[in-house]
Amino acid sequence: MNEHRETSALTERIPVRTGELAGGSDDPGETGTVAARRADETPETETRSAVLADGSPRPYVTIVLPCFNEGAHVLKEIDRITAAMNSSEFTYELLCIDDASTDDTLAVLQDAATRYANLRIMPFRRNGGSGTARRIGTQQAHGEIVVWTDADMTYENERIPELVRILRDDASYDQVVGARTTEEGTHKWARVPAKWFIRKVAEWLTKTKIPDLNSGLRAFRRDVSLPYLRLLPAGFSCVTTITIAFLSNQHDIRYVETSYAKRAGVSKFHFVNDAYRYILQVLRMVMYFDPLKVLMPPALWMIVLGFVKGVVDMVRHPFYFPASTVLLIVSGIMIASLALLSDLVVRSRDGV
């Protein structure tokens, strides 16, 4: 019985509430007028006490570590992270989220929690994807600074204190990203050009040079991220989304070069499906923040081409306009109208 009670205390279940938005209150009893008043008073941040519910001091850093079938090596990653953080000046918690693993990942984490004082576990009953794990982990984080990383031994997690130190010492940056200098993933022949193209699209949208668009190692200010968490998709493109969201809203990001090792275990990245979702998410973010940039150029080109073609048609066949000419002009006008309407929706949107 005592053993069961200790295991339950080490494993934290997540209260899920229907309709909860990113940055919402953690108090399940706060609804209606009280919640609305809090939203009016603190639209983008939340008031947090310096101590937790159990009386312990609130940590400065929360490291969110999604784990899915990483039982063979997650303990090595925990060792590496805790060694780096224990030798730093920061108070921290390591929030390990077991994403409904089918191996012994949860058992390894529960055993580790008996030996690592800063380890906190959140198990999912259903697999939600790395984006879901990072979103909920950020919402439930106790720290002022949130760090995202992976449990597959690919990132230089021993450099996490360095990323946090940059945010602490320079208030002009809201996010620090470990920019990888090499590509070690699967399907490298296709990933490199695809990532280059998508990164150029993101740079065009944000008007910012982005050395690494989808690095999984990053630190950011939790209160700044809260309004954007609802935009995160369930899959790998969540890191791309948080990058574009920050840059599109004038939150500066600093990039620090890091190495990238070959992953331990089996990759969960499926090139065709995940690449397709990745491209769709970038286009969705472009439309979300600046639809005129996407829709207006083709609309204007179609209108101009239609008028030029109309002039040529008039010279060749006076007072005769082919259906293709009319279709070009009308389609351009329709897309331009849609662009203006989309821009109106974006600008009238309350919040992000």
SS (H, E, C) 129-188: CHHHHHHHHHHCCCCCEEEECCCCCCCCHHHHHHHHHHHHHCCCCCEEEEEECCCCCCCH
Sequence-ordered list of residues with C-beta below 8 angstroms from that of 194, at least 6 positions apart, any chain = 275
Q: According to the model, what pLDDT value does residue 352 have? A: 66
**pLDDT band for position 268 (50/70/90)?**
low
Measured between alpha carbons, how far is 343 from 7 in angstroms, rounded to an integer? Answer: 52
Closest CA to 290 of 237, 230, 339, 332: 339
**pLDDT band for position 30 (50/70/90)?**
very low
Q: According to the model, what pLDDT value does residue 317 have? A: 85
**Is residue 40 predicted with pLDDT exceeding 70?**
no
Q: According to the model, what pLDDT value does residue 9 have? A: 41
**Most trustworthy range by pLDDT among 52-56, 170-174, 284-288, 294-298:** 170-174
Does residue 162 share a domain with residue 124? yes
Does residue 230 share a domain with residue 242? yes
Average pLDDT over residues 155-170: 97
Q: Which helix (H) or strand (E) holds 221?
A: strand 218-221
Measured between alpha carbons, how far is 216 from 223 in angstroms, rounded to an integer? Answer: 20
Structure tokens at 266: 């089996």
pTM of structure: 0.76
Does residue 185 share a domain with residue 147? yes
Among 266, 289, 312, residue at a domain's last position: 289
Task: Count CA atoms within 13 Å of residue 58 on its CB side.
Answer: 15
Q: How far is residue 322 CA from its own chain's centroid?
A: 48
Q: According to the model, what pLDDT value does residue 237 have? A: 80
Among 244, 262, 289, residue at a domain's last position: 289
pLDDT, one tens digit per residue, over 87-136 is 999 999 999 999 999 999 999 999 999 999 999 999 999 999 999 999 99
As for how many domains the chain has, the answer is 2
Does residue 86 share a domain with residue 203? yes
What CATH number does residue 47 fall under?
3.90.550.10
What does residue 74 show for φ and ψ, rounded to 5 degrees? -65, -30
Q: According to the model, what pLDDT value does residue 339 have? A: 92
Sequence-ordered list of residues with C-beta below 8 angstroms from that of 143, at least 6 positions apart, any chain = 58, 59, 60, 61, 62, 92, 93, 222
Q: According to the model, what pLDDT value does residue 198 have? A: 80
Closest CA to 153 of 237, 267, 236, 63: 267
**Is residue 337 predicted with pLDDT exceeding 50?**
yes
Does residue 158 share a domain with residue 70? yes
Give me the chain's average pLDDT, please.
Answer: 82
Does residue 118 share a domain with residue 215? yes
Q: According to the model, what pLDDT value does residue 65 have? A: 97
pLDDT, one tens digit per residue, over 198-218 is 888 888 878 899 999 889 999
Structure tokens at 318: 């006076």
Q: According to the model, what pLDDT value does residue 17 have? A: 35
CB atoms within 10 A of CB 347: 7
Does residue 138 share a domain with residue 87? yes
Does residue 263 share a domain with residue 204? yes
Among 289, 311, 326, residue at a domain's last position: 289
The residue range of the domain holding 325 is: 291-348
Percent of the chain with pLDDT over 70: 79
Does residue 296 share a domain with residue 280? no
Does residue 103 share a domain with residue 59? yes
Does residue 309 share a domain with residue 228? no
Does residue 80 share a domain with residue 105? yes
